[in-house]
Amino acid sequence: MSEALIKLIEEKMLTSINHLVDDFATIRTGRANPSLVDKLNVEYYGTKTPLQQLATISVPDPKLLVIQPFDKSALEEIEKSIMNADIGLNPANDGEVIRIPIPPLSEERRKELGKVASKFSEDAKVSVRSHRRYGIDEISKLKDDHSADEIKRLESKVQELTDNFVNKVDELLLVKQNELLEV
């Protein structure tokens, strides 16, 4: 039971890290990446539909995204969704595909994106710590069935996991900030 609990807590913390990686992928770094528009929803026949269900997203070169809808009638709605998403991209619709040139980032915008990345990492740390709190609460429920030494060992194992995952969040943030500052 106790090892299964530790494994569960580790999996929950890993989920927080994976969520952080997904969040970081949405931050623009001056290079074209399909994840910049992955989370966009498009109004399609009265329903909010994820963009990747309506079109293929490709990167023909590092400074250009190309979106080719399966249904040409969705072009205008896709273009409108990109403009309304406030991600700093200006789509160009040629009637067949939408081309999105990726402009170079200004110094000010790089700093703003660094703050966004910091916020994402802080949220991930909070999530990891809440999983630690959950683990400690679950361990305290085991006091009747386990010795004090065993409880202490489990608590220190949870703290060790927490420290490792918080360090991983810091490492990921450092990598992302370096990527953002790269010209």
Q: Do 93 and 139 fall into the same domain? A: no
Q: Check which CATH number belongs to the domain holding 123 and give it.
A: 1.10.132.20
Full-model pTM: 0.72
DSSP label at 53? G
Look at residues 101, 126, 149 and tell me which one is the last residue of a structural domain. Answer: 101
Residue pair 116/105 in contact by the 8 Å Cβ criterion: no
- Print pLDDT tens along the chain (183 aa): 678 888 999 999 999 999 999 888 877 667 777 877 877 888 888 889 888 888 888 888 888 889 999 988 888 888 888 888 767 778 888 888 999 888 777 888 788 888 889 999 999 999 999 999 999 998 888 888 888 888 899 899 999 999 999 999 999 999 998 888 876
Assess whether 143 and 128 both reside in one domain: yes
- 110 and 94, same structural domain? no
What's the CATH number where 73 sits? 3.30.1360.40
HSE, side-chain direction, 13 A CA sphere, residue 82? 28
Q: How many structural domains comprise the chain? A: 2
